[in-house]
């Protein structure tokens, strides 16, 4: 089928089809642009049989144009910053693989520090009058830097 200059829309019943305006050999010269389905295409070379055709048909010589490839620039990707939700190693694990593996644990540290923890008592600062008597326990486990927070039991008045 012919390559048209004008866009072609399949006609529906009762709609007239536009006149065909095909490309001709004079339009297909090396160094020129043609429009194919709304995109400009640059012609920079042709094969030997096409050169022979143009030599015999139009008495013109089609020369090859050299196109240089753009220099590739490698962009180094970095990990996104930690959002503060969960452990930073978990977030990095999500960036490294599709099927996440659990982060490696420091078993030596777990054996040395397994029974040790730091316990604190806390209260809410800048709270309403209903929160004045609430007390919390904050525990930091030294084996894996996990933090646990819970509220101490208080009698309901």
Length of the chain: 157
Q: What is the residue whose two structure tokens read 């030997």?
A: 48
| pLDDT tens digits, one per residue of 133-148 | 889 999 999 988 889 9
What is the pLDDT, as a whole number, of residue 8?
Answer: 63
Q: What is the residue whose two structure tokens read 């694990």?
A: 93
What is the pLDDT, as a whole number, of residue 155?
Answer: 78
What is the pLDDT, as a whole number, of residue 11?
Answer: 66
What is the pLDDT, as a whole number, of residue 33?
Answer: 92
Regions of the chain where pLDDT drops below 50: none
């Amino acid at each position: 089928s012919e390559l048209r200059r004008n866009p072609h829309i399949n006609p529906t019943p009762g709609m007239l089809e536009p006149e065909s305006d095909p490309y001709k050999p004079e339009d297909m010269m090396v160094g020129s642009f043609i429009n194919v389905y709304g995109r400009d295409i640059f012609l920079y070379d042709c094969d030997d049989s096409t050169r022979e055709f143009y030599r015999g048909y139009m008495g013109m010589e089609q020369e090859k144009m050299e196109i240089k490839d753009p220099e590739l620039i490698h962009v180094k990707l970095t990990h996104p910053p930690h959002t503060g939700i969960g452990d930073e190693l978990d977030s990095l694990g999500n960036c490294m693989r599709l099927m996440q593996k659990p982060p490696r644990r420091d078993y030596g540290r777990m054996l040395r520090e397994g029974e040790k923890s730091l316990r604190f008592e806390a209260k809410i600062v800048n709270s309403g009058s209903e929160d004045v008597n609430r007390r919390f326990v904050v525990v930091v486990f030294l084996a894996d830097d996990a933090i646990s927070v819970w509220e101490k039991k208080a009698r309901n008045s």
